[in-house]
């Protein structure tokens, strides 16, 4: 079984938990998700199955949209409401205008600090393992893009907002940076991934509704793909996974031979690299 499925991850599940359940449903271990969601978070989790696991890097690179809530007045060790409160201060006075000003002037690109409670590895060890052992370590930084921040609701001590961001963006870190600019304490209260690439939560499936007969998506459903028919010589090159030099526009191409899909290639500057065989 090969394809893509869009899961609406329930709260309390890790992304790995979702994969483990799908392993049993589809009777295969060849399954991978394309962007970790914390247990507290819900929403869109794009999962690749079978040969489509070769697409994990391509799909992980897609931009993402979130709806998040910030609980003001407290700071936790994990950066979300599930952690231990390490600081508390309810003496703040902000309004919608203050929040909108921060959102409007927030940098479109910046180096974001990775949360200490994350699965990023340093010297072969995950950051959350250092944190649990109370070992201080310099946290890595990543360049991320913040495409938009939209205020949805503000009620005294709770900010609800929508964020469109690049891959690798941690919403917990984004919230800390927003709160720093507002000069308030805050922690992530809730998080929903509402979109990844073109896939919204409206097309996602609940885990309880999935069985081994569930229809999976193909490359043409999840990426902008053009078709290209191979001649005998090109077919031999593609069958061996060779790079190709063809005058083609940048993008993904599904190569066919005798009306059968053979392989997916990604072209940049007339050079194509193999992404996956069908």
Which residues carry out catalysis?
38
Q: Which residue has the tokens 């006075």?
A: 93
Return the ∠ at Cα 135 (arms to 132 and 141), rounded to 5°: 95
The rounded distance, in Å, linking the Cα atoms of 78 and 218 is: 37
Three-state secondary structure of 47-95:
EEEHHHHHHHHHHHCCCEEEEEEEEECEEECCCECCCCEEEECCCCCCC
The rounded distance, in Å, linking the Cα atoms of 265 and 258 is: 18
Q: Could you tell me if 149 and 103 are in contact, meaning their C-beta atoms sit under 8 angstroms apart?
A: yes
Reduced to 3 states (helix: H, G, I; strand: E, B; else coil), residue 213 is coil
Q: Which residue has the tokens 């390490």?
A: 86
């Amino acid at each position: 079984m090969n394809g893509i499925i869009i899961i609406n991850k329930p709260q309390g599940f890790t992304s790995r938990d979702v994969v483990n359940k799908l392993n049993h449903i589809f009777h295969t271990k060849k399954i991978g998700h394309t962007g970790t969601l914390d247990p507290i978070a819900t929403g869109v989790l794009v999962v690749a199955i079978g040969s489509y696991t070769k697409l994990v890097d391509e799909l992980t690179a897609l931009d993402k949209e979130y709806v998040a809530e910030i609980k003001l007045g407290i700071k936790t060790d994990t950066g979300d409401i599930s952690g231990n409160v390490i600081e508390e201060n309810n003496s703040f006075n902000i309004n919608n205008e203050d929040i909108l000003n921060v959102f409007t002037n927030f940098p479109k690109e910046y180096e974001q600090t990775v949360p200490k409670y994350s699965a990023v590895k340093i010297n072969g060890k995950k950051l959350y393992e250092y944190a649990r052992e109370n070992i201080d370590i310099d946290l890595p930084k990543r360049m991320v893009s913040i495409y938009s921040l939209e205020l949805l609701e503000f009620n005294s001590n709770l900010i609800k907002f929508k964020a469109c961001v690049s891959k690798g963006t941690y919403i917990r870190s984004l919230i800390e940076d927003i709160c720093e600019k507002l000069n308030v304490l805050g922690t992530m209260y809730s998080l929903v991934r509402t979109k990844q690439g073109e896939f919204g939560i409206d097309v996602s499936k609940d885990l309880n509704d999935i069985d081994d007969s569930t229809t999976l998506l193909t490359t043409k459903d999840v990426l902008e793909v053009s078709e290209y028919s191979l001649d005998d010589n090109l077919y031999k090159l593609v069958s061996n996974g060779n790079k190709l030099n063809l005058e083609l526009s940048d993008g993904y191409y599904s190569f066919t031979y005798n009306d059968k899909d053979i392989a997916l290639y990604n072209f940049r500057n007339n050079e194509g690299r193999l992404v996956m065989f069908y």
